[in-house]
Amino acid sequence: MSTLSISGLNVFFSTEDGPLHALKDVAFEVPERKIVGIVGESGCGKSTLINAILGLLADNGEVRSGQILFEGSHELTQLSKVEMQNLRGPRISTVFQDPMGALNPVLSVGQQMVNIQYRDDASKAQKAARAVEMLQLVRIPDAESALGRYPHQFSGGMKQRIAIAMALMMEPALLIADEPTTALDATLEVTTIELLKDLQKKIGCSVMFISHHLGVIAELCDDVVVMYAGEVVERGTVRDVFHAPGHPYTRRLLECDPARQTERTRILPTIPGEIPDLRARPQGCVFAARCLQQHLGCDQPQVEQNLGHDHAARCNLADEVSNQEVSA
Ligand SMILES: Nc1ncnc2c1ncn2[C@@H]1O[C@H](COP(=O)(O)OP(=O)(O)O)[C@@H](O)[C@H]1O
Ligand SMILES: [Mg+2]
């Protein structure tokens, strides 16, 4: 069973210039105990996807069709506000780029970590002990006295690790991490990623990890979902997608990635051109205008092509593309 199973998801925003089709027929799985990376340039629908899962779409947004099945039994698109609130936090938790979104500047770290456990019957001392244990797991030095300190007394890297500790404290089934290491320097990024991987294994949760950083995705994730203009253009194991990409967009991302030649890149490589206007989606392939592999079928809607076990790409040429060498 998958922790999260998304199928046929279509999200629209109403705008002054008409309906904007932000997510189109999105489908993928987040298997139990797996880390799934979501990659795609700005405006591809990553935040919309997260918000749709969390039931936090902007007022002008609407899930028009599709399913978001959580733990096989909760159909998230059908839950009431209260039911969703009860899942958010304890069962589906989040970490964002800015840890201060999760930390309250006027409460000590200990108070906040005890407060999170409000649903628990344990005594206050037990809750504090649990907080210490979590802080130790995220390698905050002198965890016991750290409980009495306030967020501003910690460095950026430590604040992010505290936010991770808070997100995982209630042992959620799913952690959604949106660019959690983007604001950190390269060394801290590596340690934070290692930590996240250790904790994920220990807790046994699934993770959806959004990142621009292809190197981090390759290191951390089991599976990867490549998004372009609100569509999943490719999905599969990191191994399959990075070694034999079947979509020209994935191939361009990998080929443009300076990490392939020298060192890691902190931003997604740039590909000439722009994402199409999502208010007037092209009839055919969404990537056609920027694609180097033009052929006759590009003006037709592209069907997801199966490239092997759980590896698929939305390009009629996928078979051919995946057999090309990935050039550095
Ligand atoms: N509240 C909104 N109203 C109208 N358009 C929106 C709204 N939120 C996002 N969009 C549009 O939806 C598309 C996807 O945006 P987003 O999910 O933020 O992408 P990403 O997180 O990948 O950068 C973009 O075209 C963006 O302009
Ligand atoms: Mg975003």
Confidence (pLDDT) at 251: 92
Confidence (pLDDT) at 182: 86
Could you tell me the strand order of the sheet in which 2-15 lies?
18-31, 2-15, 61-70, 74-75
> 289 is written with which tokens?
């205008």
Confidence (pLDDT) at 6: 98
Confidence (pLDDT) at 198: 95
43 ligand 1 Cβ < 6 A = yes
What residues form DSSP beta bridges with 67?
7
* H/E run at residue 70: strand 61-70
Q: Where are the domains of the chain?
A: 102-205
Asked if 18 contacts 2 with a C-beta cutoff of 8 angstroms, the reply is no
- C-alpha 48/C-alpha 57 separation (Å) is 7
Give the number of other CB atoms < 10 A from CB of residue 26: 23
Confidence (pLDDT) at 262: 46
**Mean pLDDT, each 10-residue run in order, the chain (328 residues):** 96 97 98 96 93 97 98 96 94 94 95 93 94 96 96 95 95 96 88 93 96 88 97 97 95 76 55 91 94 87 93 94 77
| pTM score of the predicted model | 0.94
CA 36 to ligand 1 center in whole angstroms: 21
Residue of the CA atom closest to atom 9 of ligand 1? 48
Whose CA is closest to 174, among 276, 68, 101?
68
> 230 is written with which tokens?
């609100």
Q: Which fold has domain 102-205?
A: Rossmann fold (3.40.50)
13 ligand 1 Cβ < 6 A = yes
Residue of the CA atom closest to atom 25 of ligand 1? 43
Name the residue with tokens 């989606």: 281
Ligand 2 is an ion; its neighbours by CB within 5 Å are 46-47
